[in-house]
Structure 1
Amino acid sequence: MSIVYQEVQNTQYSILDTQYPKMRIVFFASGKFAIPILRELLSCGHDIVCVVSQPDKKAGRRLKMRATPVKDYCLENNLALFQPSGLNGSSAFNYLKALDADLFIVVQYGIIMPERIISLPKIFSINIHASLLPKYRGAAPINWAIINGEKETGISIIKMDEFVDTGEIILKKSLPISENDDAQTLSVALSELAKKMIIEAIVLIQNKMFKLTPQEDVLASYAPKLSKKNGLIRWDRPKEDIYNLIRGLLPWPVAYTYFKGRVFKIYKAAHKGIKDNFNSQFDQLPGQIVFIDSGEICVRCFDGLIAIKELQCEGGRRMPVRDFIAGHDIKKGDMLG
């Protein structure tokens, strides 16, 4: 087996040329974040003996049954698929045991795995988590990193234990968060980083060259599952907090306010400071519209303005502000919230 490493900035090793045997892998995933990672494993010749994904669920206004993005990918590519309603029963345990896997790889699966499932593979189970653990343990690390104004995040690959996101770290690499990132663009960038890291991690595991580093629990923070109530904008907050909330809650649940008693979702915005020529306008209340032009609705907040650029009014479609203004009675001095 031939492995060549090169030292690079912020990374201990980068694999340049690797030859290794196939691993028998069971891949647990549900969200589209996992698809580039699954595709990379397949392209490197690993034997994905089964993909485990959440069951179809009712979703949308009409509550139609909807498959996970990973299930759709499996059907398109003729991959073996298993969708248990849970992992605590004997049927799921016996099915997964019979697969005789070397590794379980878990990426945005969305169901907590019991210890007896985690311990089934010949080697162990690993989780790919979209944060620099121990920061942002939990279900929504990408969103909360942006909401909290972090300047960097990253990918952690850990050996799983019986708790959530607490396992020993195999690999960890950082990625900057730009001012223009939202949760969708950052998710794409982190998935691209993760697909490279998982191949490196597997080679290290195969060659017993990995080091397991315990997490420092005293540094832990948490990224709980999002709900619609997280999206309510408080206009008395600083402009950067509101801007981070808007970009951190895409594509769901989306930041929102109220306009004339109706929900007013905000998809794109910018923040602006207080300029000398705006002084008279800043006597207005937080949530009050300061001015409107063809491309934005500017709203007073604690220390500046939020310029709304794309929105959706309850019962309507998502649209640029220019289109909204043309069809709605909205004016300077109106209140949001």
Structure 2
Amino acid sequence: MRVVFMGTPDIAATCLKRLIETDAQIVGVYTKPDKPKNRGMKMEMSDVKKVALEANLPVYQPTTFKDDAVYEELKALAPDVIAVVAYGKILPQRVLDIAKLGCVNIHASILPELRGSGPVQWAILNGMNETGVTAMYMAAEMDAGDIIEIRKTPIEPFENAQSLLDRLALIGSELLCDTLKAMENGTTTRTPQAHDKATYAPMLTKELCPIDWTKNSRQIIDHVRGLDPWPVATTQLDGKRFKIYAVRPTEKTTDQAPGTPIALTKQGLEIACGDGEVLLITQLQADGGKRMAAPDYFRGHPIAL
């Protein structure tokens, strides 16, 4: 079966690695163009491109599919299936119509919940206990196609977005390969989504970062782990800005105002939050500094309590 793969970040790279191990004939890999990174502005290729080049697969990096030459180039590959995983580009209908057996998308949520670009992070931010991966036929509307299969998994109480993403990538890679085999055999099923039950997971921005200490401890814990590793929760302590990477609940209560530092212990910095609860900051990073354990940082930088 001739497959064109489209994807960009690490979850897509994991799926491509697994697909390479199968008997699928990967005739082309599409990924977003290289982009400058960090202060040196050195051009960096996507995770998918790195995997494709290592496997000597042809790589295509168009900026748009509206260009007729780009469309014809893809059409000439004559794919039976186009497999899409976190590509980051909208595919016009004429592209969706190229593949003989259809275009399949792997999406890291239980659709129709959390359509959009940040389903893994928003599952945690929303305090959900379960998520999953959906294989679906692609439609013109984002993440709205007919469902082929859903595989679910619990969200562990303290895992962050990166660890959850890593687990979902493995689930998604197996689901993709199983789905392509079913498409080849003509055994897939199609279940229309309940569009009236759709929820959305918009792109993450740095405006989400500041912690609202008036929320309860569980909400703040979900906020911190949902934004790790990017864009990372932040707060002000002693007039300084910190990135907060890990917090833990305590059994303590307080009448101090939310956001007030209460005590520094061997485990971390205790902070008052909503409902009179107390949270423990265990890992942080000062602006311009390194990520480190909270007790280690405050040992050298005392905080007013």
Give the TM-score normalised by the residue count of structure 2: 0.96
Aligned equivalent of 2:71, options 81, 93, 108: 93
Alpha-carbon separation, structure 1, partners of 2:260 and 2:39:
31
Residues 1:48 and 2:26 are matched in the alignment: yes
CA contact (8 A) 2:96 2:103 kept: yes
Residues 1:38 and 2:16 are matched in the alignment: yes
Letter of the 1:294 counterpart: K
Aligned equivalent of 1:293, options 243, 265, 273: 265
Alpha-carbon separation, structure 2, partners of 1:60 and 1:119:
38
Q: Can you list the C-alpha shifts for 1:255-292, whole angstroms capped at 9, x where unaligned?
A: 11112443210111112244xxx5xxx12110001111
CA contact (8 A) 2:264 2:295 kept: no
SS at match of 2:95: helix
Could you say which residue in structure 1 is the equivalent of 2:280?
A: 307
Alpha-carbon separation, structure 1, partners of 2:69 and 2:251:
59
Letter of the 1:68 counterpart: S
Could you say which residue in structure 2 is the equivalent of 1:319?
A: 292
Letter of the 1:291 counterpart: A
SS at match of 1:161: coil
Could you say which residue in structure 2 is the equivalent of 1:74?
A: 52
**Where do 4+ consecutive residues of structure 1 move more than 4 Å?**
none
Q: Given the superposition, is the C-alpha separation of residues 225 and 163 from structure 1 closer, same or farther in structure 2, using an over 3 Å criterion?
A: same
Residues 1:216 and 2:167 are matched in the alignment: no
SS at match of 2:274: coil
Could you say which residue in structure 2 is the equivalent of 1:245?
A: 223
Residues 1:103 and 2:81 are matched in the alignment: yes
Could you say which residue in structure 1 is the equivalent of 2:93?
A: 115
Letter of the 1:142 counterpart: V
Percent identity, please. Answer: 36
Could you say which residue in structure 2 is the equivalent of 1:284?
A: 256
Alpha-carbon separation, structure 2, partners of 1:323 and 1:45:
51
CA contact (8 A) 1:105 1:126 kept: yes
SS at match of 1:70: helix
Any gaps of 5 or more consecutive residues in structure 1?
1-22, 333-337
Q: CA RMSD in A?
A: 1.3
TM superposition shift of 1:86? 1.6
TM superposition shift of 1:30? 0.4
Could you say which residue in structure 2 is the equivalent of 1:206?
A: 184
Give the TM-score normalised by the residue count of structure 1: 0.87
TM superposition shift of 1:140? 0.3
Q: How many pairs does the alignment contain?
A: 304
Q: Can you list the C-alpha shifts for 1:130-175, whole angstroms capped at 9, x where unaligned?
A: 0000000000000000011101000100000101000000111111
SS at match of 2:141: coil
Could you say which residue in structure 2 is the equivalent of 1:189?
A: 167
Aligned equivalent of 2:233, options 252, 255, 258: 255
Alpha-carbon separation, structure 2, partners of 1:124 and 1:273:
54
CA contact (8 A) 2:269 2:295 kept: no
Letter of the 1:27 counterpart: F
CA contact (8 A) 1:292 1:331 kept: no
Which stretch of structure 1 is more off in the superposition, 33-42 or 161-170?
33-42
Any gaps of 5 or more consecutive residues in structure 2?
none
Q: Can you list the C-alpha shifts for 1:46-77, whole angstroms capped at 9, x where unaligned?
A: 11111101011123244332221111222222
Letter of the 2:263 counterpart: F
